[in-house]
Amino acid sequence: MTTHPDFGTTLFLGACDVVALVRRKGLPACIAGIAARIEADTRRWNDFDKSARVASHSADGVIELMPIADATQFAFKYVNGHPKNTRAGLPTVMAFGVLADVSTGAPRLVAELTLATAIRTAAMSALAARVLARAGSRTMALIGNGAQSEFQALAFRDLVGIRELRLFDTDPAASAKLVANLAGQGFETVRVCASIAEAVRGADIVTTATADKANATIVTPEMIEPGMHLNAVGGDCPGKTELHPGVLGMAAVFVEYEPQTRIEGDLQQMPADFAVTEFWRVLAGHAPGRRSADQVTIFDSVGFALEDYSALGFLLAAALELGLGQAIDLVARADDPKNLFGLLHAEAPARAMRRRRHALPVG
């Protein structure tokens, strides 16, 4: 049985551990649990030391570090975005994260986050739509049917009440994959459409989750109908957009962390004084969300570090509950913290390893 790591050890959750965790808890429970943590953490927005993520861009993609901290815990995520990766059999997005104690700097958790990132992204999308979309929304257009699409569909099913899906992707195989994976998942209709315009027509909610690193215009003004809510997920780095600027201009736009979204989201196309509302202000009651049934709303989602903080907290609690993961010696620790050189004596590391294994049973 795994217990909480002691001062000198770190709990490690590899890919197999995270998959086992999601299977044992159930994907709906994980989506709901992470969404609840995101909502609770967002409500205490001012408790966090926040900054835009640090990014290294190339012609092929981006590699990013996403840090955040409150008074007790520091978290960061390493994540990439390389749309061409699937051609080489690699995921477009790969991630891992760390949770550490602010009081000591000791790393408490290292976890694979590729799967958890998909879950937390969908959880954040559905949380925002639950607040911003029209009450009673039942139909969603899902544009982009790749690795994120199943998670978005299931999160909107459970947290928003979506029962009808209209799908479009430039790759028919992606849509076929999504249809197969959603079979028997409680949707009344899952229909593949011949165009974006067909998928969007009459939809209560439009989710765009495309991967190409390009200034694309997936949704244009003539597609917009009164009362629509748009969940723009794919425009998440400089030079990568999905919505025509005219769509933004006709809507109330909500963002996670404005300084980051102005650089990376669809918002990058708009003037610096274009008005947006940070979503936490709506949850806190400081700003209105949807003002009328006919208003068009947009959640310009780029992903923010607070969501990863919430996801890491969920993973740590669930791993300890289920006895998953293993304790690792991620950082060196000498018996005398002022004598790091002493670790170079032959017996010191082995003696410390035996002591820690005896003190911390893992399973």
Out of 41, 236, 300, 308, which one is annotated catalytic? 236
Residue 268 φ/ψ, nearest 5 degrees: -60, -20
Q: What CATH number labels 134-303? A: 3.40.50.720
Report the pLDDT value the prediction gives residue 213, as an integer from 0 to 100: 72
| Residue 23: how many other CB atoms lie within 10 Å | 10
**Per-residue H/E/C for 14-83:** CHHHHHHHHHHHCHHHHHHHHHHHHHHHHHCHHHCEECCCEEEECCCCEEEEEEEECCCEEEEEEEEECH
Residue closest to 203 by CA, chosen among 287, 296, 106, 92? 296
pLDDT in 10s for each residue of the chain, 363 residues: 344 555 568 999 999 999 999 999 999 999 999 999 999 999 999 999 999 999 998 988 889 999 999 999 999 999 998 989 989 999 888 999 999 999 999 999 999 999 999 999 999 999 999 999 999 999 999 999 999 999 999 999 999 999 999 999 999 999 999 999 999 999 999 999 999 999 999 999 999 999 777 788 999 999 999 999 999 999 888 888 999 999 999 999 999 999 999 999 999 999 999 999 999 999 999 999 999 999 999 999 999 999 999 999 999 999 999 999 999 999 988 889 899 998 898 665 555 555 554 444 333
Kindly write down the DSSP assignment for every residue of 252-319, as one continuous string. Answer: EEEES-HHHHHHHSGGGGS-TT---EEHHHHHTTSS----STT--EEEE----HHHHHHHHHHHHHHH
For the chain, what's the residue count? 363
Dihedral of CA atoms 325, 329, 335, 341 in degrees, nearest 10, equals 180
Report the pLDDT value the prediction gives residue 167, as an integer from 0 to 100: 98
Report the pLDDT value the prediction gives residue 39, as an integer from 0 to 100: 98
Per the annotation, the verdict on 236 as an active-site residue is yes
Q: Distances from the Cα of 310 to the Cαs of 111, 165, 306, in angstroms? A: 13, 28, 6
Residue closest to 175 by CA, chosen among 196, 204, 197? 196
| Fold exhibited by the domain 10-116+307-359 | ornithine cyclodeaminase, domain 1 (3.30.1780)
Domain boundaries, the chain: 10-116+307-359, 134-303
**Which uninterrupted H or E stretch holds 221?**
none
Quickly tell me which residue has 């995270």 as its tokens.
18
Quickly tell me which residue has 């289920």 as its tokens.
322
Report the pLDDT value the prediction gives residue 346, as an integer from 0 to 100: 63
